Amino acid sequence: MAVDVEGGNLGPYQDRPRTFPNMRGKSYNPLIFRILMRINVRVLFVILLLALGVVFYVGASTSPIIVFVFSTCIISFLVSMYLAKWVLAKDEGPPEMGQISDAIRDGAEGFFRTQYGTISKMAILLASVILCIYLFRRPTPQQEASGLGRFTSAYITVAAFLLGALCSGAAGYVGMWVSVRANVRVSSAARRSAREALQIAVRAGGFSALVVVGMAVLGIAILYAIFYVWLEVDSPGSMKITDLPLLLVGYGFGASFVALFAQLGGGIYTKAADVGADLVGKVEQGIPEDDPRNPAVIADLVGDNVGDCAARGADLFESIAAEIISAMILGGTMAQRCKIEDASGFILFPLVVHSFDLVISSVGIFSIRGTRDSSGKASSEDPMKILQRGYSVTILLAVLTFGASTRWLLYTEQAPSAWFNFALCGLVGIITAYVFVFITQYYTDYKHEPVRTLALASSTGHGTNIIAGVSLGLESTALPVLVISVSIISAYWLGQTSGLIDENGIPTGGLFGTAVATMGMLSTAAYVLTMDMFGPIADNAGGIVEMSQQPESVREITDVLDAVGNTTKATTKGFAIGSAALASFLLFSAYMDEVAAFAREPFKQVDIAIPEVFVGGLLGSMLIFLFSAWACSAVGRTAQEVVKEVRRQFIEKPGIMEYKEKPDYARCVAIVASASLREMIKPGVLAIISPIAVGIVFRIFGYYNGQPLLGAKVVASMLMFATVSGILMALFLNTAGGAWDNAKKYIETGVLGGKGSDCHKAAVTGDTVGDPFKDTAGPSLHVLIKMLATITLVMAPVFL
């Protein structure tokens, strides 16, 4: 953490509250950036051209489709650079705004450096374990036929794992880098126009989204192309192209591993600081949110960046990587069973879909333009409607490009109409995404009845607010589950009736149809991430406006944007849960195929009537509840430390309330940072160790009972039950937390007594309860679900 912030050297506290103390510490840039900055610009340009030349040469040696993917990703990076330049060209406002933003940036970058240092050490340790396992495992028949030995397979898996972890960490840094620089520019723009502030926040989020999605697609494409050329795929006596996607599983596991710990650590940080700041500041002292007199306010604003931006960037990166890899595996498997001559289209289809995602999401981002409103107050048009209009544009373009992609890549002479069925599968996924967004918005936006009913429950006390919030969260699980169920069955049926059959005449397109629906759901992922990043940037902007004591009209604008940001964050979390459900289903199918390949016998069903298998299911459900409990209790313990520290400062420094003494912001930042790093270890290790331990124990048990596949069956049951329980739990936690938050925001608009009333205090209590739900346990759960699926896929040999 920056020296000045960590040491508390914040300068003298001024009597004039708007002359905010200088809190700027030493700037931090990652090592790779410092190295690149020392290289001559011309030399760097030549190196970049050579690297691009090598990449395109490898791509051209693989497939023209790969060249198209490379080109689209590079263009999207250029667009993201334009967005970053456009955002950074905006003014930072008066000096007090810049000083607050600098303090937030120092705290966020310091925590990021420490957190990812810890994660990298754990990743290297896990990579060593994977290497040892793969060095001593038996190869599959496909690997034996292609001459791929144990050593090569082991090093490929470990390299893919480390690359996935590195790219996931980079995605998290990109998400945080833009947010800590855009927040102050949004604050400054809010002094002039609500629409301009909205546009800056959206374009800042768009920069992060395009880079994250582009990195996910480009990383997998490069890895695929390198393996294709290096292993001489489809040459006589070498690996078949249909088996190549299995080598990419390590990449998805690495991305999941980093995303889980990033989400846990960042979620604990942001919500512990938020809870501590709200309980003492709002409830006990009666001061506004983000008031500069609150010692925990800087830690709270830092948490928005490390929890909502860095963690969400790594999270969506992992979601896209898992979905692409699972779809590539199923596409290759189906093409092999159907004896399709050129399987490259079915395998590379997910990469093309997400390449088009970059294009259409860019159009959606640029469709949101800034027009200065005359009043300077809240925009005459609802910001949520503006964002929805951009999303509608993106959805429309997604339908068109998805249909074109299926006709281009999924057309085959064996079933001429199959591409149309798969296009309909994609349409099912796109509709599912849109419906998920609508359902989540209905349950979390205070313009709709559920949140207003929850706010009304606050008028009768804290207890009724909690009861109403819990019941709302439980109810909110019903519609999403029905939508997921209909989409899975519809997509599977469309795939089965596509006309693709195996050599025995059995339809085989069902699972791939589900994969295509998952791709359809994520075909607008870049725009969805843009809306997600918009939330914490707007939240930070509101905090900077409050701390720098800007006019009330400016705070009104940021409050509106903040409320919309709460809804978009909840919406994208619902979207992520839906995609996690479909992606986990695909990864589970890939796991079944992988076990069958290693066991050299069919493995198509798991009978939960077998006692051991049923126990595996119970353990999977238990894992979800135990993980959630540990994540929430981690926030609670850390928040208690913050509450004690904030209370201590108010008691020992009574002049804080009158701006005569300065709060020790650095102390709260240090408490939250150290505690969150400590607390993220236990639930994270639980998630990694549990499936491996269960698989090994029941493998040994099965060995002595004459059931060689018992370990694999129990792990499969564990994965199924954990996925179902995790989806329901995540839906409950995310929706309840978002509803509690916006019920508080609704009251703060002036209804039911407004700020400071007893009703408002009850709503703050509900919001405090919901904080670890929606920003720690809930988001971590859908990452956990996908990580369980990838870890079982990677560790499949251990269970046999």
pLDDT (mean) for 276-292: 79
Q: What is the mean pLDDT of the chain?
A: 84
d(CA 172, CA 112): 9
Q: Is the pLDDT confidence value at 37 over 70?
A: no
As given in the structure block, the two tokens for residue 68 are 């198209």
**Cα 115-209-487 angle, rounded to 5 deg:** 105
Q: Is the pLDDT confidence value at 668 over 50?
A: yes
Closest CA to 73 of 219, 224, 226: 219
pLDDT at 315: 82
378: left (phi over 0), alpha (psi -120 to 50) or beta: beta
Contact residues for 629 (Cβ-Cβ < 8 A; gap 6+)? none
What kind and span of H or E run contains 609? Answer: none
Q: Are 378 and 544 in contact (CB under 8 A)?
A: no
Closest CA to 555 of 566, 569, 544: 544
pLDDT in tens, 766-780: 988 888 888 888 888
Number of C-beta neighbours around residue 644 at 10 A: 13
pLDDT in tens, 412-428: 888 888 899 999 999 99
d(CA 75, CA 534): 23
d(CA 305, CA 172): 10
pLDDT in tens, 156-186: 889 999 999 988 888 888 878 888 888 889 9
116 vs 140, more confident: 116
Residue 68 forms beta bridges with which residues?
A: none
Q: Is the pLDDT confidence value at 288 over 70?
A: yes
pLDDT at 16: 42
**Cα 561-562-566 angle, rounded to 5 deg:** 115
Half-sphere CA count of 508, side-chain side, radius 13 A: 20
Question: 79-83, 552-556, 598-602: which has the highest mean pLDDT?
Answer: 79-83
Closest CA to 539 of 273, 191, 289, 175: 289
d(CA 399, CA 416): 20
3-state SS record for 199-244: HHHHHHHHHHHHHHHHHHHHHHHHHHHHHHHHCCCCCCCCCCHHHH
Q: Is 564 helix (H, G, I), strand (E, B) or coil?
A: helix
Q: Are 21 and 102 in contact (CB under 8 A)?
A: no
What kind and span of H or E run contains 362? Answer: helix 344-366
pLDDT (mean) for 590-615: 84
Q: Are 13 and 664 in contact (CB under 8 A)?
A: no
d(CA 196, CA 359): 23
As given in the structure block, the two tokens for residue 546 are 């409050």
Taking the alpha carbons at both ends of the chain, their separation in whole angstroms is 46
pLDDT in tens, 470-489: 999 999 999 999 998 999 89
The shares of helix, strand and coil residues in the chain, as percent rounded to the nearest 5, are: 80, 0, 20
**Cα 795-313-63 angle, rounded to 5 deg:** 65
Handedness of CA 128, 130, 133, 139 (dihedral sign): negative
Q: Poorest-confidence range of 371-380, 462-471, 739-748?
A: 371-380
- Give the position of tokens 């996690």: 580
pLDDT at 454: 93
d(CA 577, CA 574): 5
Q: Between helices 249-277 and 778-794, what is the axis angle to 10°?
A: 160
As given in the structure block, the two tokens for residue 302 are 């830092």
Number of C-beta neighbours around residue 75 at 10 A: 16
d(CA 596, CA 793): 12
The DSSP symbol for 502 reads: -
d(CA 45, CA 42): 5
pLDDT at 377: 45
What does the DSSP assignment read for 744-786? HHHHHTTGGG-TTSHHHHHHHHHHHHHHHIIIIIHHHHHHHHH
pLDDT at 2: 36
- B/e letters for 151-175, b = 16+ CB within 10 Å, e = fewer, are ebbbebbbbbbbbbbbbbbbbbbbb
Q: Is 144 helix (H, G, I), strand (E, B) or coil?
A: helix
Instruction: Give backbone dihedrals phi and psi of 196, rounded to 5 degrees, phi first.
Output: -65, -40
d(CA 356, CA 608): 41
pLDDT at 1: 35
Amino acid at residue number 22: N
